[in-house]
A = this chain, B = another copy of it.
Amino acid sequence: MSAPDKTKDMLGRQRLTPVHEALSLLTGNLQNIQRPSERIFLDEALDRITAKDIFSPEDLPAHARSTMDGFAVKAADTFGASQSMPCYLQLSGEVFMGENPLGKVEQGHCFRISTGGLLPVGSDAVVMLEHTIPVDDKMIELVKSVGAGTNLIDKGEDISKGSVALAAGHRIRPQDLGLLAGLGIGEIEVYRQVKVGILSTGDEIVHWSENPPAGKIRDINNITLTGLARRAGAKVIDYGIVSDREEDFFPTMLKAIKNNDIVLFSGGSSVGMRDLGEKIIERLGNPGILVHGVTLKPGKPIIIGLHNDTPLFGLPGHPVSAMVCFELFVEPAIDLLSGHKKDKKLPQPTIKAVLERNINSAAGRLDLVRVRLHEENGVLMAQPVLGKSGSISTLSRAHGYFFIDESSQGLEKNSEVRVHLLQ
Protein backbone atom coordinates (compact mmCIF):
# COMPACT_ATOMS: atom_id res chain seq x y z
CA MET A 1 0.00 0.00 0.00
CA SER A 2 1.34 3.43 -0.93
CA ALA A 3 1.46 6.27 1.57
CA PRO A 4 -1.86 8.13 1.67
CA ASP A 5 -1.92 11.37 -0.39
CA LYS A 6 -2.91 14.08 2.07
CA THR A 7 -4.48 16.18 -0.66
CA LYS A 8 -6.93 13.41 -1.59
CA ASP A 9 -9.80 11.81 0.27
CA MET A 10 -10.51 8.06 0.49
CA LEU A 11 -12.28 8.06 -2.88
CA GLY A 12 -9.24 9.67 -4.54
CA ARG A 13 -10.95 13.06 -4.82
CA GLN A 14 -9.01 16.22 -4.06
CA ARG A 15 -9.42 17.25 -0.45
CA LEU A 16 -11.00 20.68 -0.06
CA THR A 17 -8.86 23.22 1.78
CA PRO A 18 -10.43 25.37 4.53
CA VAL A 19 -10.72 29.00 3.41
CA HIS A 20 -8.36 30.47 6.04
CA GLU A 21 -5.77 27.77 5.26
CA ALA A 22 -5.99 28.46 1.51
CA LEU A 23 -5.61 32.17 2.18
CA SER A 24 -2.53 31.78 4.35
CA LEU A 25 -0.99 29.37 1.83
CA LEU A 26 -1.54 32.01 -0.85
CA THR A 27 -0.40 35.06 1.12
CA GLY A 28 2.55 33.16 2.60
CA ASN A 29 3.86 32.72 -0.93
CA LEU A 30 3.45 36.42 -1.77
CA GLN A 31 5.18 37.93 1.26
CA ASN A 32 8.60 38.68 -0.11
CA ILE A 33 7.91 39.69 -3.68
CA GLN A 34 9.71 42.94 -4.50
CA ARG A 35 7.49 45.42 -6.26
CA PRO A 36 8.83 48.03 -8.71
CA SER A 37 8.18 51.66 -7.87
CA GLU A 38 7.87 54.88 -9.84
CA ARG A 39 7.91 58.63 -9.17
CA ILE A 40 4.64 60.48 -9.74
CA PHE A 41 3.26 63.96 -9.20
CA LEU A 42 1.20 64.63 -6.11
CA ASP A 43 -1.97 65.39 -8.02
CA GLU A 44 -1.94 61.87 -9.50
CA ALA A 45 -1.26 60.18 -6.17
CA LEU A 46 -4.77 59.51 -4.80
CA ASP A 47 -5.17 55.82 -3.84
CA ARG A 48 -1.57 54.96 -4.75
CA ILE A 49 0.74 53.20 -2.27
CA THR A 50 3.87 54.91 -0.92
CA ALA A 51 7.02 52.93 -1.70
CA LYS A 52 9.23 54.69 0.85
CA ASP A 53 8.83 56.50 4.13
CA ILE A 54 8.19 60.17 3.36
CA PHE A 55 9.95 62.50 5.78
CA SER A 56 8.83 66.02 6.47
CA PRO A 57 11.32 68.44 4.88
CA GLU A 58 10.22 71.27 7.17
CA ASP A 59 8.18 72.23 10.20
CA LEU A 60 4.46 72.59 9.64
CA PRO A 61 3.45 75.25 10.39
CA ALA A 62 6.73 76.97 9.66
CA HIS A 63 5.89 79.64 12.27
CA ALA A 64 3.50 79.81 15.22
CA ARG A 65 0.05 81.02 14.05
CA SER A 66 -3.09 82.14 15.80
CA THR A 67 -6.09 79.79 15.74
CA MET A 68 -8.52 82.52 16.85
CA ASP A 69 -9.46 86.11 16.12
CA GLY A 70 -8.22 88.25 18.99
CA PHE A 71 -5.04 89.74 20.43
CA ALA A 72 -1.48 88.40 20.59
CA VAL A 73 -0.21 88.87 24.12
CA LYS A 74 2.44 87.84 26.62
CA ALA A 75 0.58 85.24 28.70
CA ALA A 76 2.27 86.49 31.86
CA ASP A 77 0.60 89.89 31.35
CA THR A 78 -2.87 88.29 31.61
CA PHE A 79 -2.25 86.51 34.90
CA GLY A 80 -5.24 86.82 37.22
CA ALA A 81 -7.46 88.66 34.74
CA SER A 82 -11.19 87.93 35.26
CA GLN A 83 -14.65 89.48 34.85
CA SER A 84 -14.41 91.02 38.31
CA MET A 85 -10.77 92.02 37.98
CA PRO A 86 -9.95 92.74 34.33
CA CYS A 87 -6.47 93.73 33.19
CA TYR A 88 -5.58 96.34 30.58
CA LEU A 89 -3.20 96.10 27.63
CA GLN A 90 -1.95 98.71 25.19
CA LEU A 91 -2.88 97.96 21.58
CA SER A 92 0.35 98.77 19.77
CA GLY A 93 0.22 96.84 16.49
CA GLU A 94 -1.70 94.62 14.11
CA VAL A 95 -0.80 91.43 12.28
CA PHE A 96 -1.92 91.55 8.64
CA MET A 97 -2.86 88.28 6.98
CA GLY A 98 -0.20 86.93 4.70
CA GLU A 99 2.42 89.32 6.02
CA ASN A 100 5.29 89.09 8.44
CA PRO A 101 4.29 91.02 11.61
CA LEU A 102 6.17 94.30 12.06
CA GLY A 103 7.57 95.14 15.47
CA LYS A 104 7.51 93.28 18.75
CA VAL A 105 4.98 92.81 21.54
CA GLU A 106 6.44 94.48 24.65
CA GLN A 107 5.38 93.85 28.23
CA GLY A 108 1.89 95.29 28.83
CA HIS A 109 1.18 95.54 25.10
CA CYS A 110 -0.72 93.49 22.54
CA PHE A 111 -1.24 93.22 18.75
CA ARG A 112 -4.55 92.68 16.99
CA ILE A 113 -4.47 89.28 15.16
CA SER A 114 -6.85 87.19 13.01
CA THR A 115 -7.19 83.41 12.75
CA GLY A 116 -4.18 82.15 10.82
CA GLY A 117 -2.12 85.26 11.51
CA LEU A 118 1.57 84.86 12.30
CA LEU A 119 2.37 85.25 15.99
CA PRO A 120 4.43 88.44 16.44
CA VAL A 121 7.81 88.36 18.21
CA GLY A 122 7.44 88.80 21.97
CA SER A 123 3.96 87.20 22.22
CA ASP A 124 3.28 83.63 23.36
CA ALA A 125 -0.53 83.38 23.45
CA VAL A 126 -3.70 84.76 21.89
CA VAL A 127 -6.66 86.16 23.80
CA MET A 128 -10.01 85.58 22.06
CA LEU A 129 -11.88 88.65 20.89
CA GLU A 130 -14.89 87.48 22.95
CA HIS A 131 -12.87 87.85 26.17
CA THR A 132 -11.96 91.47 25.54
CA ILE A 133 -13.71 94.83 25.63
CA PRO A 134 -12.28 97.74 23.65
CA VAL A 135 -11.54 100.71 25.88
CA ASP A 136 -10.42 103.06 23.11
CA ASP A 137 -8.27 102.88 19.96
CA LYS A 138 -5.19 102.25 22.03
CA MET A 139 -6.34 100.02 24.85
CA ILE A 140 -8.31 96.80 25.51
CA GLU A 141 -9.77 95.36 28.67
CA LEU A 142 -9.16 91.63 29.28
CA VAL A 143 -11.62 89.56 31.32
CA LYS A 144 -9.85 86.19 31.13
CA SER A 145 -6.29 85.04 31.66
CA VAL A 146 -4.53 82.75 29.18
CA GLY A 147 -1.59 80.35 29.58
CA ALA A 148 1.39 80.42 27.22
CA GLY A 149 0.54 78.56 23.99
CA THR A 150 -3.21 79.22 24.21
CA ASN A 151 -5.11 79.70 20.94
CA LEU A 152 -2.14 79.14 18.71
CA ILE A 153 -0.60 76.33 16.75
CA ASP A 154 3.11 76.18 17.41
CA LYS A 155 5.92 75.92 14.89
CA GLY A 156 6.19 72.22 13.90
CA GLU A 157 3.16 71.29 16.03
CA ASP A 158 1.31 69.77 13.06
CA ILE A 159 4.41 67.91 11.93
CA SER A 160 8.06 68.56 12.72
CA LYS A 161 10.98 68.63 10.30
CA GLY A 162 12.55 65.21 9.79
CA SER A 163 9.67 63.17 11.21
CA VAL A 164 7.79 60.61 9.11
CA ALA A 165 4.88 62.24 7.32
CA LEU A 166 3.70 59.01 5.68
CA ALA A 167 5.21 55.57 6.20
CA ALA A 168 5.99 53.23 3.30
CA GLY A 169 3.08 50.99 2.27
CA HIS A 170 0.43 53.61 2.99
CA ARG A 171 -2.56 54.03 0.65
CA ILE A 172 -2.87 57.75 -0.08
CA ARG A 173 -6.21 59.27 0.96
CA PRO A 174 -7.43 62.82 0.33
CA GLN A 175 -6.15 64.01 3.71
CA ASP A 176 -2.72 62.52 2.99
CA LEU A 177 -2.59 64.56 -0.22
CA GLY A 178 -3.35 67.56 1.98
CA LEU A 179 -0.52 66.77 4.37
CA LEU A 180 2.00 66.37 1.55
CA ALA A 181 0.74 69.56 -0.12
CA GLY A 182 1.15 71.40 3.18
CA LEU A 183 4.78 70.26 3.22
CA GLY A 184 5.34 71.26 -0.40
CA ILE A 185 6.10 67.68 -1.47
CA GLY A 186 5.20 67.66 -5.15
CA GLU A 187 6.51 64.26 -6.25
CA ILE A 188 6.53 60.95 -4.44
CA GLU A 189 7.73 57.40 -4.94
CA VAL A 190 4.86 54.90 -5.17
CA TYR A 191 4.61 51.24 -6.10
CA ARG A 192 3.53 50.51 -9.65
CA GLN A 193 -0.08 49.47 -9.93
CA VAL A 194 -0.66 45.73 -9.91
CA LYS A 195 -1.52 44.37 -13.36
CA VAL A 196 -4.19 41.69 -13.58
CA GLY A 197 -4.65 39.62 -16.74
CA ILE A 198 -8.16 38.23 -17.20
CA LEU A 199 -9.21 35.33 -19.46
CA SER A 200 -12.58 33.67 -19.87
CA THR A 201 -12.55 30.04 -20.91
CA GLY A 202 -15.08 27.72 -22.45
CA ASP A 203 -16.44 26.85 -25.88
CA GLU A 204 -19.91 27.88 -24.72
CA ILE A 205 -18.91 31.49 -23.96
CA VAL A 206 -19.27 34.41 -26.40
CA HIS A 207 -18.39 38.08 -25.83
CA TRP A 208 -21.28 39.88 -24.15
CA SER A 209 -21.74 42.17 -27.15
CA GLU A 210 -22.60 39.15 -29.34
CA ASN A 211 -25.93 37.45 -29.78
CA PRO A 212 -25.32 33.92 -28.53
CA PRO A 213 -26.69 30.99 -30.57
CA ALA A 214 -28.49 28.22 -28.67
CA GLY A 215 -26.11 26.41 -26.33
CA LYS A 216 -23.87 29.43 -25.88
CA ILE A 217 -24.04 32.21 -23.28
CA ARG A 218 -22.64 35.69 -22.98
CA ASP A 219 -19.50 36.23 -20.90
CA ILE A 220 -20.56 37.74 -17.57
CA ASN A 221 -17.37 37.16 -15.57
CA ASN A 222 -14.91 39.19 -17.61
CA ILE A 223 -16.62 42.57 -17.11
CA THR A 224 -17.49 41.81 -13.45
CA LEU A 225 -13.95 40.73 -12.57
CA THR A 226 -12.53 43.72 -14.46
CA GLY A 227 -14.67 46.07 -12.36
CA LEU A 228 -13.67 44.34 -9.14
CA ALA A 229 -9.96 44.43 -10.02
CA ARG A 230 -10.10 48.13 -10.94
CA ARG A 231 -11.84 48.93 -7.68
CA ALA A 232 -9.07 47.04 -5.87
CA GLY A 233 -6.57 49.47 -7.45
CA ALA A 234 -5.27 47.22 -10.25
CA LYS A 235 -4.87 47.75 -13.96
CA VAL A 236 -6.56 45.11 -16.10
CA ILE A 237 -5.39 43.52 -19.34
CA ASP A 238 -8.17 41.62 -21.11
CA TYR A 239 -7.21 38.39 -22.92
CA GLY A 240 -10.77 37.73 -24.08
CA ILE A 241 -12.23 34.26 -24.43
CA VAL A 242 -10.10 31.17 -25.02
CA SER A 243 -11.42 27.78 -26.09
CA ASP A 244 -11.40 24.57 -24.07
CA ARG A 245 -8.38 23.30 -26.01
CA GLU A 246 -5.05 23.18 -24.23
CA GLU A 247 -3.24 24.41 -27.37
CA ASP A 248 -5.22 27.70 -27.18
CA PHE A 249 -5.43 28.02 -23.41
CA PHE A 250 -1.78 27.31 -22.52
CA PRO A 251 -0.07 29.88 -24.80
CA THR A 252 -2.59 32.57 -23.75
CA MET A 253 -1.78 31.84 -20.10
CA LEU A 254 1.95 32.12 -20.86
CA LYS A 255 1.43 35.49 -22.54
CA ALA A 256 -0.77 36.74 -19.68
CA ILE A 257 1.78 35.66 -17.06
CA LYS A 258 4.55 37.46 -18.92
CA ASN A 259 2.67 40.78 -18.89
CA ASN A 260 0.90 40.70 -15.53
CA ASP A 261 1.40 40.32 -11.80
CA ILE A 262 -1.71 38.17 -11.34
CA VAL A 263 -3.66 36.06 -13.85
CA LEU A 264 -7.32 35.07 -13.49
CA PHE A 265 -9.17 32.68 -15.68
CA SER A 266 -12.81 31.89 -15.12
CA GLY A 267 -15.30 29.51 -16.59
CA GLY A 268 -15.40 25.82 -16.58
CA SER A 269 -17.31 24.70 -13.55
CA SER A 270 -17.62 21.34 -15.31
CA VAL A 271 -15.24 18.59 -14.25
CA GLY A 272 -13.62 18.55 -17.69
CA MET A 273 -12.83 22.26 -17.68
CA ARG A 274 -11.68 22.13 -14.10
CA ASP A 275 -9.31 19.32 -14.97
CA LEU A 276 -7.97 21.34 -17.90
CA GLY A 277 -7.39 24.37 -15.67
CA GLU A 278 -5.50 22.21 -13.16
CA LYS A 279 -3.51 20.56 -15.93
CA ILE A 280 -2.42 23.91 -17.30
CA ILE A 281 -1.34 25.24 -13.90
CA GLU A 282 0.55 21.99 -13.27
CA ARG A 283 2.20 22.27 -16.70
CA LEU A 284 3.23 25.88 -15.94
CA GLY A 285 4.69 24.45 -12.77
CA ASN A 286 7.08 26.02 -10.27
CA PRO A 287 5.47 25.53 -7.81
CA GLY A 288 2.15 24.96 -9.63
CA ILE A 289 -1.07 24.25 -7.80
CA LEU A 290 -1.41 25.43 -4.19
CA VAL A 291 -5.11 24.80 -3.62
CA HIS A 292 -7.65 22.51 -5.34
CA GLY A 293 -11.05 23.64 -4.13
CA VAL A 294 -12.02 25.16 -0.78
CA THR A 295 -14.67 24.54 1.88
CA LEU A 296 -16.74 27.51 0.74
CA LYS A 297 -20.21 28.02 -0.64
CA PRO A 298 -20.50 29.47 -3.18
CA GLY A 299 -16.97 29.26 -4.55
CA LYS A 300 -15.89 25.69 -3.77
CA PRO A 301 -14.22 24.84 -7.12
CA ILE A 302 -11.55 27.60 -7.06
CA ILE A 303 -8.03 26.52 -8.07
CA ILE A 304 -5.11 28.60 -6.80
CA GLY A 305 -1.65 28.22 -8.28
CA LEU A 306 1.63 30.03 -8.55
CA HIS A 307 4.06 30.35 -11.45
CA ASN A 308 7.26 31.81 -9.99
CA ASP A 309 5.98 35.03 -8.39
CA THR A 310 2.70 35.18 -10.30
CA PRO A 311 -0.45 33.97 -8.54
CA LEU A 312 -2.84 32.19 -10.89
CA PHE A 313 -6.52 31.87 -10.06
CA GLY A 314 -8.89 29.46 -11.76
CA LEU A 315 -12.22 30.94 -10.72
CA PRO A 316 -15.50 29.05 -10.94
CA GLY A 317 -17.60 29.76 -14.03
CA HIS A 318 -20.73 30.62 -12.04
CA PRO A 319 -20.70 34.40 -11.69
CA VAL A 320 -21.67 34.49 -8.01
CA SER A 321 -18.96 31.95 -7.14
CA ALA A 322 -16.41 33.84 -9.22
CA MET A 323 -17.19 37.11 -7.43
CA VAL A 324 -17.08 35.53 -3.98
CA CYS A 325 -13.70 33.94 -4.78
CA PHE A 326 -12.46 37.30 -6.01
CA GLU A 327 -13.40 39.00 -2.74
CA LEU A 328 -11.92 36.27 -0.56
CA PHE A 329 -8.72 35.42 -2.46
CA VAL A 330 -7.93 37.70 -5.40
CA GLU A 331 -8.53 41.01 -3.66
CA PRO A 332 -6.14 40.13 -0.78
CA ALA A 333 -3.54 39.04 -3.37
CA ILE A 334 -3.86 42.35 -5.25
CA ASP A 335 -3.61 44.23 -1.98
CA LEU A 336 -0.49 42.34 -0.91
CA LEU A 337 1.25 42.75 -4.26
CA SER A 338 0.33 46.45 -4.34
CA GLY A 339 2.71 46.96 -1.43
CA HIS A 340 -0.12 48.14 0.83
CA LYS A 341 0.75 47.48 4.47
CA LYS A 342 -2.67 46.98 5.94
CA ASP A 343 -3.29 47.28 9.63
CA LYS A 344 -4.05 43.59 9.95
CA LYS A 345 -6.00 44.07 13.11
CA LEU A 346 -8.66 46.30 11.59
CA PRO A 347 -11.79 44.34 10.80
CA GLN A 348 -13.94 45.18 7.77
CA PRO A 349 -16.66 47.70 8.61
CA THR A 350 -20.06 46.06 8.73
CA ILE A 351 -23.63 46.88 9.64
CA LYS A 352 -25.70 45.01 12.15
CA ALA A 353 -28.95 43.39 11.04
CA VAL A 354 -31.44 40.78 12.18
CA LEU A 355 -31.84 37.61 10.13
CA GLU A 356 -35.37 37.28 8.75
CA ARG A 357 -35.51 33.47 8.44
CA ASN A 358 -33.64 30.31 9.42
CA ILE A 359 -30.62 29.50 7.25
CA ASN A 360 -29.01 26.07 7.11
CA SER A 361 -25.34 25.51 6.51
CA ALA A 362 -23.07 22.48 6.46
CA ALA A 363 -20.58 22.19 9.32
CA GLY A 364 -17.02 22.46 8.06
CA ARG A 365 -17.94 24.88 5.31
CA LEU A 366 -17.83 28.70 5.19
CA ASP A 367 -21.10 29.99 3.75
CA LEU A 368 -21.53 33.43 2.27
CA VAL A 369 -25.18 34.45 2.36
CA ARG A 370 -26.33 37.30 0.12
CA VAL A 371 -28.97 39.55 1.69
CA ARG A 372 -31.27 42.44 1.00
CA LEU A 373 -31.73 44.87 3.87
CA HIS A 374 -34.88 46.69 4.87
CA GLU A 375 -36.19 48.37 7.99
CA GLU A 376 -39.07 46.96 9.99
CA ASN A 377 -40.27 48.77 13.12
CA GLY A 378 -36.95 50.52 13.42
CA VAL A 379 -34.93 47.31 13.14
CA LEU A 380 -32.71 46.57 10.13
CA MET A 381 -33.72 43.17 8.78
CA ALA A 382 -31.54 40.94 6.56
CA GLN A 383 -33.52 38.93 4.04
CA PRO A 384 -31.44 36.18 2.38
CA VAL A 385 -31.43 36.41 -1.42
CA LEU A 386 -31.97 32.84 -2.46
CA GLY A 387 -30.79 31.74 -5.84
CA LYS A 388 -28.23 29.65 -7.58
CA SER A 389 -24.61 30.57 -7.84
CA GLY A 390 -25.10 30.84 -11.59
CA SER A 391 -27.60 33.64 -11.05
CA ILE A 392 -25.89 37.03 -11.40
CA SER A 393 -29.16 38.85 -10.63
CA THR A 394 -28.99 37.59 -7.04
CA LEU A 395 -25.80 39.59 -6.57
CA SER A 396 -27.25 42.60 -8.28
CA ARG A 397 -30.30 42.44 -5.98
CA ALA A 398 -28.20 41.97 -2.84
CA HIS A 399 -27.22 44.88 -0.61
CA GLY A 400 -24.51 42.81 1.03
CA TYR A 401 -23.61 39.49 2.55
CA PHE A 402 -22.74 37.82 5.84
CA PHE A 403 -20.80 34.69 6.68
CA ILE A 404 -21.82 31.50 8.47
CA ASP A 405 -18.56 30.06 9.68
CA GLU A 406 -17.26 26.50 9.50
CA SER A 407 -18.25 25.60 13.05
CA SER A 408 -21.92 26.45 12.52
CA GLN A 409 -24.69 24.37 11.01
CA GLY A 410 -26.83 27.39 10.35
CA LEU A 411 -28.43 30.40 11.96
CA GLU A 412 -31.87 30.79 13.39
CA LYS A 413 -34.38 33.44 12.51
CA ASN A 414 -33.78 36.65 14.53
CA SER A 415 -30.06 35.96 14.94
CA GLU A 416 -27.90 39.07 14.73
CA VAL A 417 -25.69 39.11 11.63
CA ARG A 418 -22.90 41.49 10.59
CA VAL A 419 -23.47 42.50 6.99
CA HIS A 420 -20.67 43.50 4.60
CA LEU A 421 -22.12 45.97 2.13
CA LEU A 422 -21.65 45.43 -1.60
CA GLN A 423 -21.24 49.10 -2.47
Contacts and interface: CB of A to CB of B under 8 A. Distances in A.
Contacts of A63: 214-215
A179 B393 contact: yes
B182 A218 contact: yes
Given A98-B204, A100-B215, A227-B46, A373 B345 contact: yes
Number of copies: 2
B97 A391 contact: no
A393 B184 contact: no
A270 B223 contact: no
A286 to B, nearest CB: 30
A326 B50 CA distance: 25
Interface string A242-277: 001000000000000000000000000111110000
A114 B271 contact: yes
A223 B42 contact: yes
A219 B175 contact: no
A141 interface: no
Interface of A: 42-43, 46, 60-63, 65, 67, 69, 96-101, 114-118, 129, 153, 157-159, 165-166, 171, 173-179, 181-184, 186, 202-205, 208-228, 230-231, 244, 269-273, 317-319, 323, 343, 345-351, 373-375, 380, 387-396, 399, 419-423
Contacts of A182: 208, 217-218, 220, 319, 392
Contact of A421 (B176, B231, B349, B423): B349
A2 to B, nearest CB: 24
Given A116-B317, A175-B319, 20 more contacts: A43-B223, A67-B390, A97-B215, A98-B204, A99-B215, A100-B213, A101-B215, A114-B273, A116-B270, A157-B387, A158-B387, A173-B422, A178-B220, A178-B323, A181-B222, A182-B218, A184-B218, A346-B373, A347-B380, A349-B350
Contacts of A173: 227, 396, 422-423
A375 B179 CA distance: 26
A45 to B, nearest CB: 9
A423 B46 CA distance: 11
Contacts of A423: 171, 173
B346 A176 contact: no
A388 B151 CA distance: 10
A165 B219 CA distance: 17
A181 B208 contact: yes
A62 B393 contact: no
A198 to B, nearest CB: 12
A225 to B, nearest CB: 8
Question: Considering the complex of A and B, which 5 residue pairs feature the smallest CB-CB distances, nearest first?
Answer: A174-B227, A178-B224, A181-B208, A349-B349, A98-B204
A389 B68 CA distance: 11
Contact of A224 (B157, B174, B323, B351): B174
A244 B387 CA distance: 61
Contacts of A319: 175, 178, 182
Nearest to A43: B223
Contacts of A158: 387, 390-394
B374 A345 contact: yes
Contact of A100 (B174, B214, B346, B351): B214
A402 B81 CA distance: 37
B317 A203 contact: no
Contact of A347 (B98, B215, B351): B351
Contacts of A271: 69, 114-115, 129
A269 B116 contact: yes
Given A129-B271, A202-B97, A116 B346 contact: no
Given A157-B391, A345-B374, A179 B396 contact: yes
A272 B114 contact: yes
A218 B136 CA distance: 36
A186 B218 CA distance: 12
A392 B60 CA distance: 9
A399 B420 CA distance: 19
Given A129-B271, A166-B396, A270-B69, A98 B202 contact: yes
